[in-house]
Amino acid sequence: MSRGGEEPRWVLPSLCASFHVSSLVCLSALFFSFPCGWLAVHVSLAFPVVAGILFLPALANLLLASFMDPGILPRGAKGRARLVIQVLRDEDRRFGPRWCHKCHCYCPPRSFHCPSCNVCVEGFDHHCYWLNNCVGRGNTRCFSLFVAFLCGYNALALASCIAYLVLSSGQVLSTEKACAIVVTVPAAFYLLPLLALMSSRAKLHAWAKRTHRLKVYSRGKKTLLGRAWARSWAPA
């Protein structure tokens, strides 16, 4: 228990992440049970098949990115003396380990101290509140796959719900229609942000960059940290 009866810092982020996962699962259950089920019977079985192909990898990569180690660097002992380490230079730019005063250790290039987790993460990209975890070298591919599959699944769910509402427009308002509307509203709300996020992730991977780091390309020339953009997709 924390001092003064205050809740620990991890409680609220954990609740937010749990809410996001629960919302995804519950809305998906409504989608597969009512509009998708109706379309499977009256239109085609392709609707639930394609939706399942997109939903299951999205959920799997969400869980993997949430629980995988993003690349947390081990802490050093307090009072540890800073060692003298040779610094690399490329075109008057300085590259080398950076000393973290909170973790008492040297951080390799592309690493950063996450204030939310209070740890240094190798290949730090950003802290994701959907996952309650950092996105770093260890889970960046899982996060990108999660975004890609979720974007496709969200677009399909929105299109399916609209198709169901149009095809069943002659029927009276029922529980099935109400559930379809409940799924349609958040699907429409998140579609554009998800498309923007997926586009941003694709651009970052293509140029071997991270969200929270300086550009590694300058004046069209590669630096020591920005070679072989395909490495960002290759297994670690």
| 104: alpha, beta or left? (left if phi > 0; alpha if psi -120 to 50) | left
Question: What's residue 8's pLDDT?
Answer: 54
> Helix, strand, or coil here: 162?
helix
Which one-letter amino acid corresponds to residue 80? R
State the Cα–Cα distance between residues 24 and 30, nearest whole angstrom: 10
Who's near 171: CB < 8 A, 6+ residues apart? 177
State the Cα–Cα distance between residues 154 and 152, nearest whole angstrom: 5
Question: What's residue 224's pLDDT?
Answer: 40
Q: What does each C-alpha distance from 81 to 39, 73, 88, 103 come to in angstroms? A: 66, 18, 21, 13
Q: Computed from CA positions of residues 159, 190, 69, 98, in that sequence, does the dihedral angle turn out positive or negative?
A: positive
Question: What's residue 236's pLDDT?
Answer: 43
State the Cα–Cα distance between residues 138 and 141, nearest whole angstrom: 8
Say which of 128, 134, 151, 161 is annotated catalytic.
128
Beta carbons of 205 and 229 less than 8 angstroms apart: yes
State the Cα–Cα distance between residues 193 and 188, nearest whole angstrom: 10
Angle at 131 between CA 35 and CA 12, to 5 degrees: 105
Q: Is 81 exposed, middle or buried (0-12, 13-18, 19+ CB in 10 A)?
A: exposed
pTM for the full model?
0.77
Angle at 180 between CA 178 and CA 185, to 5 degrees: 100
Give me the residue label for tokens 């590669």.
222
Question: What's residue 172's pLDDT?
Answer: 83
pLDDT digits 0-9 by tens, 157-167: 999 999 999 99
Instruction: Confirm whether 128 is a catalytic residue.
Output: yes
Beta carbons of 119 and 70 less than 8 angstroms apart: no
> Helix, strand, or coil here: 218?
strand
Give me the residue label for tokens 């003396």.
81
The closest alpha carbon to 36, from 188, 146, 163, belongs to 163
Please list the pLDDT of the chain residue by residue as tens digits (236 residues): 344 444 456 678 888 889 999 999 999 999 999 999 999 999 999 999 999 999 999 999 999 999 999 999 988 766 655 555 555 454 555 556 777 888 888 888 788 899 888 899 998 888 998 889 999 999 999 999 999 999 999 999 999 999 999 999 888 888 889 999 999 999 999 999 999 999 888 887 776 666 555 344 443 444 444 444 444 444 44
Question: What's residue 56's pLDDT?
Answer: 97
Who's near 40: CB < 8 A, 6+ residues apart? 47, 48
Question: What's residue 209's pLDDT?
Answer: 62
